[in-house]
Amino acid sequence: MDTLLLKYKTVKEAEVKVWFKAAPVSAFPKDGGACVKYKDLQIAVFNFSRLDKWYACQNLSPEKQEMVLSRGMLGDHKGIPKIACPLHKKTFSLETGENLNADLAPIAVYPIKIEAENVYIGFSE
Ligand code: FES
């Protein structure tokens, strides 16, 4: 597997060692995404305001390895919140990272929390 993809690994809430303060809530469009940098990672952060939820995942689309997922389209797949890559519309669960409409590898997803109007992403290192 490409080394760029290997940098991204799903972090479970129990594994969080660092809550990285990404930006104020107001920096993220409603029902849209934005890209945040943490070390050498690009993380797509989504303000899914229709569901009143926030999600974070790798910005890298695993198919063509472009940093594009933050510009994707939010949606719903049988009750699972998903992001569709803007390039070829492959979709991924924002909860587990699973590819929902093809057999691509899952994307990495990260814990996210809002505190005092700021967005924090959880990392294990
Ligand atoms: S590059 Fe993302 S679906 Fe093809």
Question: Is residue 94 within 8 Å of 48, Cβ to Cβ?
Answer: yes
pLDDT at 3: 81
Q: Distance, CA 46 to ligand 1 centroid (Å)?
A: 18
Q: What's the pTM value of the predicted model, to 2 decimals?
A: 0.96
Question: In the chain, where does DSSP find H-type helix?
Answer: 3-6
Strand spans (E) along 49-100 = 53-58, 73-77, 80-84, 91-93
As a whole number of angstroms, the distance between CA 8 and CA 89 comes to: 21
Q: Distance, CA 83 to ligand 1 centroid (Å)?
A: 11
**Does the pLDDT at position 2 exceed 80?**
no
Domain ranges of the chain: 30-123
Enter the CATH code of domain 30-123: 2.102.10.10
Residue nearest ligand 1's atom 1 by CA: 64
pLDDT at 1: 56
Question: Is residue 91 within 8 Å of 103, Cβ to Cβ?
Answer: no
pLDDT tens track for 59-96 = 999 999 999 999 999 999 999 999 999 999 999 999 99
| Atom of ligand 1 at shortest range from CA of 61 | 2
| Residue 5 banded pLDDT, cuts 50, 70, 90 | confident
The rounded mean pLDDT for the chain is 96
As a whole number of angstroms, the distance between CA 122 and CA 90 comes to: 25
Residue 87 Cβ contacting ligand 1 at under 6 Å: yes
